[in-house]
Amino acid sequence: MRNRKYFAWMGFFLLVGMILTPQTRAEEAHYPPAANRTVSFQKDIEPVLRQNCAKCHARGKAEGGFRMDVRDLVLIGSNTGRVVQTGDSQNSYLTHLISGLDSSVRMPPSGELLSEEQVGLIRAWIDQGLPWPDGINLGRFKEAELEPREVIVPAAKAIHSENPVDRLLESYFQKNEIEFP
């Protein structure tokens, strides 16, 4: 009789323990692995953040109270607390969000999820201490890596205009038999 009560209580506590155990423990094993190399913020991380995160978390926007214009803002976290545990991607809430395992809190919230490779790169970046070079601000639009070039404006042939735009368009108008306005 005593053994039955003992096993009944043990079964009850095991069941309660299983119900109350957070699902995140089971999900952790399914996070994509961190990339097994040193990541470059500018080559690997910045493009992913600009494409998938900056729309809602930079340039003056702070969905959920989270901004990521610069490293210091990432470290501050959001309305719910810290988002990144520097050096520990396994326990960083950001890893949970971007892995897409929980559809109710996935990031980005709509559209295509990050690829396993992208999640792995971000995990490696977190594990490597969240390096963020000075001068990079996701709140600013990235400047084109092009030098200004000088355009040679052709001399006017059929039209009598000093406006360089008119002279650039003149050959197009002639080729397509369009009367110059």
Q: What is the secondary structure of 20-86 as a DSSP string?
A: HS-HHHHHHTTSPPPPSSPPPIIIIIHHHHHHHTHHHHSTT--GGG---SSHHHHHH-BTTB-S--T
Q: Per-residue pLDDT tens for 152-163?
A: 887 777 667 778
Q: Per-residue pLDDT tens for 60-75?
A: 888 889 988 899 888 8
Binning pLDDT at 50, 70 and 90, where does residue 143 land? low
* pLDDT score for 13: 63
Distance (Å, whole) CA 52 – CA 49: 5
* pLDDT score for 25: 44
Tokens 């996701």: give the residue.
138
Say if residues 158 and 117 touch (Cβ distance below 8 Å): no
Q: Per-residue pLDDT tens for 27-66?
A: 454 888 899 999 999 999 999 999 998 888 988 888 889 9
* pLDDT score for 161: 74
Burial 94-126 (b: 16+ CB within 10 A, else e): bbbbbbbbeeeebbbeeeebbeeebbbbbbbbb
* pLDDT score for 48: 93
pLDDT at 172 over 70: yes
pTM of the predicted structure, to 2 decimals: 0.62
